[in-house]
Homo-oligomer: A and B are copies of this chain.
Amino acid sequence: MGIESPLFQLFGQSPIQPLTKHMHLTLDCVSVLPAFFAAAQSGDWKKATQVRSEIEQHKRDADVLKKDIRTHMPNRLLMPVARSDLLELLIAQSRLAGSAKRISGLVLGREMHIPDSIYPLSNDFLAMGIQAAEQATVAIDELDNLLETGFSGKELKTVEALLAKLDDLEEQSDQLQISLRRSLKGLEANLNPVDVMFMYQVITGIGQLADFAQRVGHRLQILMAR
């Protein structure tokens, strides 16, 4: 964008600030997943239910803010271009939060137990998705700061670098998903087919964490290209 601070301040603060807040609520949903999976894997369904309630609560908070932003975005003043770019970013963030809720719902609903032999790999895969969500949050925080304080083209490079790393994380997440699916395939003979299919659905869901985090990053790039 290259908006220098004095000029931008004609009309006030960073327009992405409310979206930054929404991204942090999104990250709250995602960050609780390791605690959830740990409880589920140890068969402590009471604890798992309780942790999932937290995810649902964070999701509910994010949705309230999403509705707020959507209905109160000052469309009398905002360019249609800027407005639709901001709404698309919001949708990408909301999908990321939705993934966390959906994954945990699948596991809890079936009281799913991931085979112990692939649990460590599954944990690495989940950690990679969470790292991608954190990286996307760092990028949006950084851009928000720059918009507040003013910046030169050089400083935008920092955000670009953060987003390039996010693309790497998504690549690595992809590779881990391929390994995990191959490992699960080797175990299929000893598992109930319906349970297997739902495990694949959970794997797909975890893979979407990095995928949707990357989409948040793409949306930031489009905003910065204006």
Interface, chain A (partner B; CB < 8 A): 67, 70-72, 75, 79-81, 83-84, 109-110, 178, 181-182, 185, 188, 192-194, 196-197, 218, 221-222, 224-226
* Given contact pairs A81-B80, A194-B193, A109 touches B225 in the complex (Cβ within 8 A): no
> Is the contact region of chain A dominated by helix, strand, or loop, or is it mixed?
helix
* Minimum Cβ distance to chain B for residue A76 (Å): 9
Q: Do A71 and B185 have beta carbons less than 8 Å apart?
A: no
Contact of A81 among B75, B110, B185, B222 (CB under 8 A): B75
Contacts A/B (CB < 8 Å), 30 sampled: A67-B218, A67-B221, A70-B218, A70-B221, A70-B222, A71-B222, A71-B224, A71-B225, A72-B225, A75-B225, A75-B226, A79-B80, A80-B80, A80-B81, A80-B84, A81-B83, A84-B84, A109-B178, A109-B181, A109-B182, A109-B185, A110-B185, A188-B192, A188-B194, A192-B193, A193-B194, A193-B197, A194-B196, A194-B197, A197-B197
* Minimum Cβ distance to chain B for residue A216 (Å): 14
The closest CB in chain B to the CB of A178 belongs to: B109
Measured between alpha carbons, how far is A188 from B79 in the docked complex, in Å?
54
Cβ–Cβ < 8 Å partners of A178 in chain B:
109
Q: Do B71 and A221 have beta carbons less than 8 Å apart?
A: yes
Measured between alpha carbons, how far is A197 from B185 in the docked complex, in Å?
13
* Minimum Cβ distance to chain B for residue A10 (Å): 19
Measured between alpha carbons, how far is A70 from B81 in the docked complex, in Å?
12
Measured between alpha carbons, how far is A185 from B111 in the docked complex, in Å?
10
Cβ–Cβ < 8 Å partners of A67 in chain B:
218, 221
